[in-house]
Structure 1
Amino acid sequence: MTATPGLRRTSRILLLDPAGRVFLMDTKAPSSDGAHRWITPGGGVDPGESHRDAAIRELREETGIAVTDPGEPVWSWDFAVGWDQADHDRGHAEFYVVRTPGFELSDAGWTDDERVDILASRWWTADELDATNESYEPAELPDLVRRHRD
């Protein structure tokens, strides 16, 4: 199976704590080889929904954190999707920054797919991302964390 031609719009949240760490989730990729990677909370923009509203909804669904205004996007990313089980071949992501003093992760808003696809979660420093052999997306993530941690 190959990705169907099409664009998937997503909103992603750089969730940062006072130490400048970013919260990431280890998630299964839509790939027959079992690949997984660390990504920020976030997900697809529903039809008729703005990137901003999707960021608010996805953050609440995936972490339990409710915000009313994530501010303006701080970065956007256009990318090709190479996963062989993806339902799209291109993506566009808008990134927002939300700061938190810490939180208790809640899976109450997770979809059935998220309950299967989210393997783990943890806080990362930019230096830990630079040093790891684990996969994460986007490749620019350590630089984004450094740029927005203060």
Structure 2
Amino acid sequence: MTARPGLRRSSRILLLDPEGRVFLMDTKAPSSTGEHRWITPGGGVDPGEDHHAAAVRELREETGIVVEDAGPSVWTWDFEVTWDRADHDRGHAEFYVVRTPGFALSDAGWTDDERVDILDSRWWTADELDRTDEPFEPAELPDLVRRFAP
């Protein structure tokens, strides 16, 4: 089985702390191989919603952090999806930067799927991302952290 044709629009948040670390979540990929990868908080843009509104909503749902304004989109990523259980074969993500002094992760807004798919979470430095053998997305993430970290 291969991913079904279609484009998924999403919003992702580079959640940065004062030490210049980015908060990532280890999630299961939509793959029969059991793959996982570290990704930023974020998710799909709902019908009638723009990327900015989706970023604010997804940040609240996935972390419990409430912001009214995620600022402007700072980077876009267009990519092909090759996982065999994905419901789309192409993606377009808009990235936003939100800074926080730290927080207690809340799963109160997680969907049932997120409760299964989110395996772990932690803060990463750009150098740690450069050195790790763990998969993460996008590949440009260390450069983005360096570009936007304090």
Please give the TM-score of this superposition, normalised by the length of structure 2: 1.00
Separation of aligned partners in 2, 1:36 and 1:12: 17
Provide the aligned length of Structure 1 versus Structure 2. Answer: 150
Q: What corresponds to 1:89 in structure 2?
A: 89
Separation of aligned partners in 2, 1:62 and 1:92: 19
Query: Residue 10 of structure 1: CA displacement?
Result: 0.2
Indicate the percent of aligned positions where both proteins have the same amino acid: 82
Q: Which amino acid aligns with 1:119?
A: L
Query: Residue 2 of structure 1: CA displacement?
Result: 1.0
Query: Residue 100 of structure 1: CA displacement?
Result: 0.1
Cα offsets for 1:50-109 (capped at 9, x unmatched): 000000000000000000000000000000001010000000000000000000000000
Structure 1 gap ranges (5+): none
Q: What corresponds to 2:43 in structure 1?
A: 43
Secondary structure at the aligned position of 1:26 is classed as strand
Q: Which amino acid aligns with 2:136?
A: Y
Query: Residue 130 of structure 1: CA displacement?
Result: 0.1
Q: What corresponds to 1:6 in structure 2?
A: 6
**Superposed CA RMSD:** 0.3
Separation of aligned partners in 2, 1:9 and 1:48: 12
Separation of aligned partners in 1, 2:46 and 2:2: 23
Q: Which amino acid aligns with 1:139?
A: A
Structure 2 gap ranges (5+): none
Which structure 1 residue ranges, 4+ long, deviate > 4 Å from structure 2? none
Q: What corresponds to 2:59 in structure 1?
A: 59
